[in-house]
Structure 1
């Protein structure tokens, strides 16, 4: 995937997109097939709310095109409840389900920590210790204290990607020196709702030129996410 940016969304089953992206008469069962005719990657967020099973991911593998790629978000039990403490077996099980179910269609494994999870050296070392570095790991923080050279250097040494995040309360840095560019666009100023203007999409395009990675639109509580994704896809 050298020098290639893949664009997608963090959800697809969206009634707001009927008549804008999906045909007016599109049923929920036909939405994913329509989605993958226009995009070649999807950020699977359902695993955050419910621990995934091999059967679930095998089904996604079977119903997606040959070169389609999934990024998968880790369950909140790991990142928000246990916060990587005493859950080595749970993390290992999650990795195994992702790899066995999605096989070569597994792109990145995303771990998103809560806003209350601030930086300490102990936490940084604990994260790295618990990750399986054979995977393309992406870490998304929601506390600004993690934006520091100590974290970035440690991630680079261990082939871990620091997630670039567009979020109302966080720096808008687009990180280009990690193993991959991985951008999550949540919507600003109104999270999950706001649309990105053309000027900002052009900036993202220019910043990621000749880079490899993924850009996912998570401003999907309205029609903004799909319209932005289509617009940026046409720009790149």
Structure 2
């Protein structure tokens, strides 16, 4: 059942996609509706830059189709500035807004840590201690030191998903033995810009042919690459 894995993008408001995806005459205010006609999920990154409100998420809920799922990125105030320190209340507020705003359309909660956030036992424990396990938590690291067995075993024991990444400076392992299959394609060699070839996408597709639930998002959206790659992979994954 390949449709257990939902494919989408990490952005939709993109003028690069006119003609190649959005009809030339389609107003930008209709772009999200058009996106939803082709994809069943969206990775919401706006919350990384600005702490969301309940009203914002309620609006997204109302304008998306039934059975559509959003994965929501945790604010950088939590992951990059405070780095999980002294932010229990802040994170709880974020969880609550996601739950009450997105309701049945809430997919995963994505924590992305900065490249400077290297592995330590203390940091691993702080992650495990602060998460709310009523949610599907996905952790994306940008420092290779986190690719180790101690982390993977701890995540599996605590029902946390280790995010698979396609990134210029990180291992490209696609992890299939965590609660979710969660893959982010950032573009290689030029991050956010580079496209994936049909051969690369075919290889990717062979790794997501599974009954496991999951999400695959293309974040190479600084060009037309992300939407074209997402469409091609989705066609393969029927």
For the 8 Å contact 2:43–2:217, the answer to whether it is kept is yes
C-alpha spacing 1:2/1:101, structure 2 compared with 1 (3 Å): farther
Alignment match, 2:14: 14
Alignment match, 2:193: 193
Alignment match, 1:230: 231
Alignment match, 1:177: 177
For the 8 Å contact 2:2–2:208, the answer to whether it is kept is no
- Offset of residue 49 of structure 1: 0.2
TM (norm. structure 1) is 0.98
1:212 equivalent to 2:213? Answer yes
Unaligned runs of 5+ in 1: none
- Offset of residue 204 of structure 1: 1.0
- Offset of residue 212 of structure 1: 2.0
Q: Structure 1 runs of 4+ off > 4 angstroms?
A: none
More displaced 10-residue stretch of structure 1: 2-11 or 104-113: 2-11
Alignment match, 1:4: 4
Distance 2:67 2:129 in 1: 32
- Offset of residue 27 of structure 1: 1.6
Distance 2:21 2:31 in 1: 10
For the 8 Å contact 2:45–2:72, the answer to whether it is kept is yes
Give the CA RMSD over aligned residues: 1.0
Query: Matched residue of 1:170: which SS?
Result: coil
Distance 1:33 1:135 in 2: 27
TM (norm. structure 2) is 0.98
- Offset of residue 2 of structure 1: 8.7
- Offset of residue 3 of structure 1: 6.5
Number of aligned residue pairs? 236
